[in-house]
Amino acid sequence: MNRAARKYYRTILLGIAAMAALLWAAVDQFGISWDEMLSLFLVTITVVLLVIVAAAVAVGMWVGLRRLFRSKD
C-alpha cells in the first residue's frame, strides 16, 4: 500500500473515531437519550436532503432559463 493510500485510510479511521467520541460525549456526559439522538439524526438527514433538492431545482431553473433566453443564431 502506498503512502497516499495509508494517509487516506488513516484519515477515514480518525474521522470515524472522532464521530464515535462525539456520540459518546453526547450520550454519557450530557445525558442525551438514544431516542433523542435518533430524532436529531433524522432531522439532520431531512434537512440535508431538502438542501440537495433545492439546489437541484435552482440548477434546473438556471439551465432552463439559459436555454430559453439563448439567442438562436
Q: Enumerate long-range contacts of 47-51, CB under 8 Å, 24 or more apart.
A: none
What's the distance, CA 34 to chain centroid?
Answer: 21
52 pLDDT exceeds 60? yes
pTM value? 0.61
The per-residue pLDDT for range 11-44, each reduced to its tens digit, is 999 999 999 898 888 888 888 888 888 898 899 9
73 pLDDT exceeds 60? no
